[in-house]
Amino acid sequence: MSFPVPLLALPVHPRRCRRCYYVLEHLDADRCPECGTGFDFADPATYVTKPPFVWWRYWLPGVALTVGLGVVLYAGLAAAYGYGVAVTIVLPLCLGAILSYGLKTRVWIKIIWSLPALGFIILVLWAVGLGISSGQLGGAVITVGVGTFCGLILFSIALLPMMVGLLIGHLLRLRMKKSAWDQRHYLPVLLLALIPVFAAAVEGRYDALKIVSLDTVAIIDAPPDKAWEAIQFYEEVKHAPPLLLRLSPSLRPVRTSGSSQKVGDIKVCYYERGKLTKRITEVIPGRRLAFAVVGQDHVENENVQLIGGSFELEPLDGGRRTRVRLTTTYRPLLAPRFAWQPAEALAVHTLHGHVLEGMRREAEGVE
């Protein structure tokens, strides 16, 4: 179909009254119909081309989109694939790019907005985690929310990739501003949101990472037989645990049942949420006590697969003191390892330290 008269695009920024922002295009008069201010299209000083600035329209859409997408993608991808590289690194990077692409403002303001945006996403995941920590689906553990400690670690890990993403999004926005591509307002955002989905699908779940053994050593001023008698599991330590171990309800012990005296004994440890079942596998009186974790029910199931642990005692100074080595063995479920391993080590060593302190107090007769 052809038209005899040229079809012309209308101005994107029509000329407006400089006082009341009335659109002045194609008016027959030379005065604003609303406020009466005169104008002359030959004199740019008598009109403006931009509407009044609406600050929340600059920031709110981009921030809201990032937060909404972040919550959905974190929860969905973590439930489907666990916390792997895609969720831990790629997703915050893409969210940073989406935030930066959507905000029509300076880089430093984007950086400022990224912190509460990421914080709010993690907060929502934490709130979900309060109600639904993990479940089983087809035999695999699915993760929906995060615990307090994991949420804090996730926030810390996500910051750097998010900052990188902010820069990428900013550069992309500058590039697209010069482009005439009419889908630049939404298609890059859609693609950025899909990248972590594809990455997670390619990466898959981490169910077979390398087994890790972490040990902590303490010296007790007591002979080995007293140290042996003082051996206790985390749930049996009498003094209050440090804050780190109180953050998660699945690490707040309530009671224990069973025995741990000889090989084959079963000990069940109950927490505010979940329980661990341990079976004694080795007993060398005065030297070594080892156990295997044969049941792990809602105790950080989405983060680690606990395998077992051991207490090893070595006499020092002619038997006047004892070196105690406490070992925990587990299979991690979180990736990338360089991001999560330091936090895991912190948690394990904190727990070991708490147990060893309990042993020390009892063996040395300290209140």
Partner 1 sequence: MTVNLSPTGRVDCRAVIALPMSAVTAWGQLRDFAKYASHDHFHAGFEVEGGRPLAGARLRILHRYGPFRVHRVGRIVRWTEGEGYAFSDLSTAGPRRGFPHVLSYRLEAVDERRCRLHLRVGGRWTAPVPRWAARAWLWWVFASVATRVENELVAFKVARARARP
Question: At residue 106, what is the residue type?
Answer: R
- Give 23 or 211: the residue with its C-beta nearer to partner 1: 23
**Minimum distance from residue 94 beta carbon to partner 1 (Å):** 20
- Give 9 or 45: the residue with its C-beta nearer to partner 1: 9
**Minimum distance from residue 23 beta carbon to partner 1 (Å):** 4
User: Which of these, 199, 169, 211, lies nearest to 85 by C-alpha position?
Assistant: 199
Integer CA distances (angstroms), 36 to 16, 28, 127, 212, 224, in order: 13, 14, 56, 78, 97
**Minimum distance from residue 68 beta carbon to partner 1 (Å):** 17
**Minimum distance from residue 57 beta carbon to partner 1 (Å):** 6
Question: What residues line the site for partner 1 (CB under 8 A)?
Answer: 1, 3, 5-12, 14, 17, 19-23, 25-26, 33-34, 51-54, 57, 182-183, 187
SS3 assignment for 228-278: HHCCCCHHHCCCCCCHHHHCCHHHCEEEEEECCCCCCCEEEEEECCCEEEE
- Give 7 or 174: the residue with its C-beta nearer to partner 1: 7
- Give 26 or 178: the residue with its C-beta nearer to partner 1: 26
- Give 44 or 51: the residue with its C-beta nearer to partner 1: 51
- Give 14 or 116: the residue with its C-beta nearer to partner 1: 14
C-alpha 147/C-alpha 129 separation (Å) is 6
C-alpha 63/C-alpha 103 separation (Å) is 8
Helix crossing, 187-203 with 148-177: angle to 10°? Answer: 140
**Minimum distance from residue 102 beta carbon to partner 1 (Å):** 17
C-beta of residue 217 within 8 angstroms of C-beta of residue 323: yes
What letter does residue 28 receive in the DSSP assignment?
Answer: S
C-alpha 23/C-alpha 21 separation (Å) is 6
**Minimum distance from residue 256 beta carbon to partner 1 (Å):** 57
